[in-house]
Amino acid sequence: MSRQLRMSTLSVVIFIVSNIFGSWALVFPVTPLLVSTVGGSRFTAGATTGVFMAATIVAQLATPALLRRYDFRPVVASGCLLLGLPCLALVPWSDNITALMMISVVRGVGFGLVTVACSALPPYLVSKDRLSRAIAAQGMANAGSQTVFLLVGLQLYQSVGIVAVSTLATAMATTAAMAVLGLPQRLYGSSGRQFEYVPTQGALRRQFVLVNVAVVGIASAYGGLSALIPLVDYPQSAHAGVILAAIGGAVVAGRFAAGRYAHRTADHRLTVQIGVFAAVVGTVCLCVAALGVNAALAVALIGGVAFGFGLGWVQNVTLVRIFDSVPPHRVGFASAAWNISMDAGIGLGSTTMGAVADHSGYSSALLVSTVAIVLTVALPLALQQSRKRQDRPGLREEQANQL
């Protein structure tokens, strides 16, 4: 495949990702509201998200095998349709809690298929030296679409109703399914990027495990913050949406900056530390703001921007590294592992931080997220970097010569 065709295909992937995450974000906050409207408990309302994420993880586990058997086109198209078409059922069954749960399950399966498949595509479409920028571009489309359509979905539901939300969500997912025709007919398992260095089996396995632990750590912090911020007055609960939007926007900036940094320098020793430092500063600011200090909203916004930037940075770095830890034919497996670690971490973090907040207060819970970042992101990746330098002597000189 020529370079021009590969870049054109990458643009199609980014278009698909934007529409898929937009379709998901439109309905994501609305389904719990529908359950609450018809008299469902808070637990039941939250369970719609729980069953969605459970179905997502099950589908993500199965996606690598499906990619090997059917390739990208049918898997991505099926995921798009499973995510979008059930939205039409929200209109006639919006007052049926059981039906809403089933809709969430089907949509979760579609979301799991498309997230893993699309995450696995960049290594097949760009050379290794451009991989970080390609992943950054896809991540920016993901985060940007989520940020915009989470707000759009709530506004549409409150001003127009569920018909508008379901129609738009279905249209975006269907458009993404049609765009799949722009992908090559046969791509999975083809010769993707080539490795100048193949690590030993032990080093490969160690890097793979440590990177996934780091993903769980940063995702746990994000899950906890996302669950707690709407419950904290900064100084009014209405400001929570602004802070969450600031986090989402900063994630886009973090992924862009990480991609540019990795592309322009051969020395990657500081890449993880930059993101971890920003995320830690962000959670500390949010913790201070939760104490009710003067200018709490301003401090919280600074914290949201810093954490979001760090989250986006670490997401980009870890995804690149997990692809580096596997041979080309295992890219689908690596993508599934990264996505599962992210989703599981979000669920774990929201549950854990909620329990801490019930026992010790919001400020203590926010501090826990800082500890989570330091212990499960900074420490494992620092260890991995140290061992990587021992396993790969002279790598920096080789990279510099290649550039």
pLDDT at 141 over 80: yes
Asked whether the predicted pLDDT for residue 257 surpasses 80, the reply is yes
Amino acid at 69: R
CB–CB of 290/240 below 8 Å? no
Q: Are residues 272 and 156 in the same domain?
A: no
Nearest C-alpha neighbor of 107 from the set 70, 54, 67, 157: 54
Residue 72 shares a structural domain with residue 40: yes
Give the model's pLDDT for residue 121.
Answer: 87
Specify the pLDDT at position 48.
Answer: 80
156 and 237 share one domain: no
Position 196 in a domain? no
Among 173-187, 313-327, 388-402, where is mean pLDDT lowest?
Answer: 388-402
Query: Do 343 and 275 fall within a single domain?
Result: yes
Residues 168 and 219 in one domain: no
pLDDT tens sequence across 296-349: 889 989 999 999 999 999 998 888 888 877 877 788 888 889 989 988 888 788
* Percent of the chain whose predicted confidence (pLDDT) is above 90: 27
Q: Is residue 195 part of a domain?
A: no
Residue 358: CB partners within 8 Å, gap ≥ 6?
A: none
- Residue 398: pLDDT over 50: no
Mean residue pLDDT of the chain comes to 81
Q: Which of 130, 152, 182 is the C-terminal boundary of a domain?
A: 182
Number of domains in the chain: 2
Instruction: Based on the fold, state whether residues 240 and 363 are members of the same structural domain.
Output: yes
262 phi/psi in degrees, rounded to 5: -65, -30
**172 touches 165 (CB < 8 A):** no
Higher pLDDT, 61 or 240: 61
Instruction: Give tens-digit pLDDT for 339-392.
Output: 899 888 887 887 788 778 777 777 888 888 888 888 888 777 666 655 555 555
pLDDT at residue 36 in the model:
79
Identify the band that residue 195 occupies on the pLDDT scale cut at 50, 70 and 90: very low
| Of the candidate ranges 1-15, 76-90, 154-168, 288-302, the one whose mean pLDDT is the lowest | 1-15
Answer whether residue 35 is part of any domain.
yes
CA torsion, ordered 257, 258, 259, 261, to nearest 10 deg: 80
- Picking from 245, 243, 211, the residue whose alpha carbon sits closest to that of residue 338 is 211
Q: In whole angstroms, what is the distance from residue 135 CA to residue 364 CA?
A: 34
403 domain-assigned: no
Domain that holds residue 37: 3-182
366 or 96, higher pLDDT: 96
Judge if 149 and 58 occupy the same domain: yes
Residue ending a domain, among 119, 154, 182, is 182
Residues 381 and 332 in one domain: yes
> Within a domain: residue 365?
yes
In a domain, 400, yes or no: no
Same domain, 155 and 297: no
The helix-helix angle for 131-159 and 30-37 (nearest 10°) equals 30
pLDDT grade, residue 200 (50/70/90)? Answer: very low
pLDDT band at 237 (very low <50, low <70, confident <90, very high): low
Residue 166: band (very low, low, confident or very high) from pLDDT cuts 50, 70, 90: very high
Identify the weakest region by mean pLDDT among 99-108, 129-138, 247-256.
129-138
Q: Quick one: average pLDDT of 30-53?
A: 80
Q: What pLDDT, on the 0 to 100 scale, is given for residue 54?
A: 86
CA 43, CA 34: separation in Å to the nearest integer?
13
Q: Which residue has the higher pLDDT, 294 or 151?
A: 151
Weakest mean pLDDT among 23-27, 236-240, 267-271: 267-271
Lowest mean pLDDT among 31-40, 43-52, 116-125, 203-212: 203-212
The enclosing domain of 313 has a CATH number of 1.20.1250.20
DSSP states of 23-37 as a string? HHHHHTTHHHHHHHH
The verdict on residue 187 lying in a domain is no
Residues 35 and 176 in one domain: yes
Residue 44: predicted pLDDT: 77
Q: Can you give the pLDDT at residue 30? A: 86
Q: What is the mean pLDDT of residues 10-38?
A: 89
pLDDT of residue 260 exceeding 50: yes
Mean pLDDT of 8-18: 89
Q: Which has more confidence, 220 or 173?
A: 173
Please give the Cα distance from 324 to 182 (Å, whole number).
Answer: 27
Residues 224, 141 share a domain: no
Domain boundary among 125, 147, 182: 182
Residue 220 shares a structural domain with residue 126: no
Quote the radius of gyration of the chain (alpha carbons, Å): 21
Instruction: With a cut of 60, say whether residue 275 has pLDDT above it.
Output: yes
pLDDT tens-digit series, residues 49-77: 778 888 999 999 999 999 888 888 999 99
Is position 272 within any domain? Answer: yes
